[in-house]
Amino acid sequence: MAEIRIHKNIFKEYPTFRRGIVVAKKIQNHGHSQELEAKLNQAIAQSATQPIDIKTDIRIIVWNQAHRQFDSNPNKFPPAHCALLKRVQKPEAQIPFINKVVAIMNYNSITDVMPVGGDDVIQAGGSLELCYANGGEIFRPLGNPENVEHPYPGEIIYVVSESEEVMCRRWNWRNGHKTRITEDTHTIVMNIDGLGEDNEARTIVTRDRVAGMLEEFCHAYTITTMLSPSQPVYQFDI
């Protein structure tokens, strides 16, 4: 049995926050999909030809404000979807096709201007929690696991409660190495984060599209739910 939870103080400080959840099992993440790569490239091309104003778009502003609220500088440590959009809105921008699940994450994050991230649940183990750091947790950055870091006290982190292994620092800034999604990953939790007024409907649309694409391109079995102030915890069988 695995568990995902949002600490009550997160919802207290960010009452409009919603986390759409997709649990995906029996994923087939090996191999390539030309159709999926074409969809991703189309989303990238559209972002370059029809860029949003990152300084004024409310979908960016709300996250920058949220990061400043827990004393993180979004200009220095931008939310992942903001950094991704800055990257793809440049002419002739490209991002690599790492694997099918990562392509689905990137496609939906670009298309809906929303944080979309996931972790290998088998590698994580234990209970997954979005909470405030005490500063003693351990973070090994994606691609550089030998470099051990510690979040600052009060930083919002996504962490494995039992091991204190941080899966993502600064809410949705940078992923950890251990729970990264590889071709061998077969069980994941995908997080679709919505913030701001009237965001729940957008979060549901993105969540359900993510689930559908995981089923279509990875032949996964998926379960969806939503974490909110009234449902801060979700348990599921691995």
CB 153 within 8 A of CB 29: no
Instruction: Quick: pLDDT tens for 33-61.
Output: 999 999 999 999 999 999 999 999 999 99
Specify whether the CB–CB gap between 197 and 16 falls below 8 A: yes
Q: Does the structure show a pLDDT above 90 at 238?
A: no
DSSP-derived secondary structure for 115-131:
-EEEEEHHHH-SEEEEE
User: What percent of the chain is modeled with pLDDT above 90?
Assistant: 95
Alpha helices in 100-180 (DSSP H): 100-112, 121-124
Cβ neighbours for 58, distance < 8 A, ≥ 6 positions apart? 196
- Please give the pLDDT value at position 26: 98
Query: 3-state class of 5 per DSSP?
Result: strand
Asked whether residue 194 carries a pLDDT value surpassing 90, the answer given is: yes
On the question of pLDDT at 92 being above 90, the answer is no
pLDDT of residue 224: 98
Among residues 93, 68, 60, 98, the alpha carbon closest in space to that of 175 is found at 98
- What is the rounded CA–CA span in Å between residue 177 and residue 175? 7
Q: Order of strands across the sheet with 174-175?
A: 174-175, 165-169, 156-160, 127-132, 2-6, 233-236
Per the structure, the count of domains in the chain is 1
Output the domain CATH number for residue 90: 3.50.40.10
Please say if the pLDDT value at position 126 is more than 90. Answer: no
195-207 residue pLDDT tens:
998 899 999 999 9
Host domain of residue 123: 2-236
